[in-house]
Amino acid sequence: MTLHTGPEAATDAFIDALPKVELHVHLIGSASVPTVLELARRHPDGGVPTGEEELRAFYTFTDFPHFARVYRAVNGLVREPEDVATLVTGLARDLSGQGARYVELQVTPYAHHMVGMPMREVTEALDHGARRSLADHGVEMAYIFDIPGEYGVEAADVTVAHALQEPPAALVGFGIGGIEQERPAYRDAFRDAFAAARNAGLHSVPHGGEMTGPETIWEVIDGLGAERIGHGISCLQDERLVAHLRETQLPLDVCPTSNVCTGQVARIEDHPLPRLLEEGLFVTLNSDDPPMFATTLADEYRVAARVFGFDRPLLAQLARNGVSASYLPAARKQALLAEIDALVTA
């Protein structure tokens, strides 16, 4: 481990102390080595190493196909409600040491449906995980139910049914992820699912413009009623879209390291985060699938500081943006914003 001194160490200390929220992180993708080790030992027939050294080697990111293989392997370890709760509390444990206070965790109910977990049992596991996360780690957990878009109509139906019939207490949003190129074939089903979720009071937080162009972003805005957009980085290809996002201040949940690891951006130095801010867009900073991309929420702030040269006021503004774009109650938002302001002026 490299120990930094001087200004870099002071920036690291500031980032560590900065109260943060995580608005774009996936349940399966959040599983760190300690959490996966627990699951692998619980299910030793899963083909995942049960020794720590071997698991760390297996987990070390190399390229996108390797990421996909690890993701599938971890997903294969999530077979019972207890496994779901383990993932939730594992994420809270990992984030508690990074100054994170609140998480909106993206959960894909269809994955649990596929292995035969009843809705009620999944919901009870999510509720239990949220309670333990707050009690044991001081991290408040909320949930976004996410349609895996490439699975089409059935995935949309299962996801919205779970959201409306057996929602966890902390469910705040409804989303869609997966392979964006597959979505047009199921457009009407996705629109119907989002309309039902929004009518039930859930916030619309779809992915868009991660692996496709601005047309996907327009669709999540016009067709899905997006209130916040996951990624959205391809918006810069469309001046009219940039103007719309600037005018409406529709938040973009940006995940720089993820975009490099999935091949959407060639190098971290090429990431459009600075330009998004220069264009006056509302941006939050997030980690997506952090252990699988060898990053953390705090590391995303370090990237912003070291690669893009963001100073403390700008880092603090990104943290404020996350709080403001969250679905926390107003009083909790104000308390967190006050904490950030106090740190900046200390």
> Is residue 210 annotated as a catalytic residue, yes or no?
yes
In sign, the C-alpha dihedral spanning 331, 133, 174, 166 is negative
In this structure, what token pair is assigned to residue 214?
């601005």
The active-site residue out of 80, 104, 210, 227 is 210
In this structure, what token pair is assigned to residue 263?
């091949």
Q: In what order do the strands lie in the sheet with 203-204?
A: 20-26, 100-107, 140-148, 171-177, 203-204
Q: CB under 8 Å to 66, separation ≥6 — which residues? A: none
263: exposed, middle or buried (Cβ count in 10 Å: 0-12, 13-18, 19+):
exposed
CA distance to 48, 132, 163, 205, 279, per residue, from 106 (Å): 23, 18, 13, 10, 28
CA distance 103 to 283: 16
Give Cα 167 distance to the centre of its chain: 19
Catalytic residues: 210
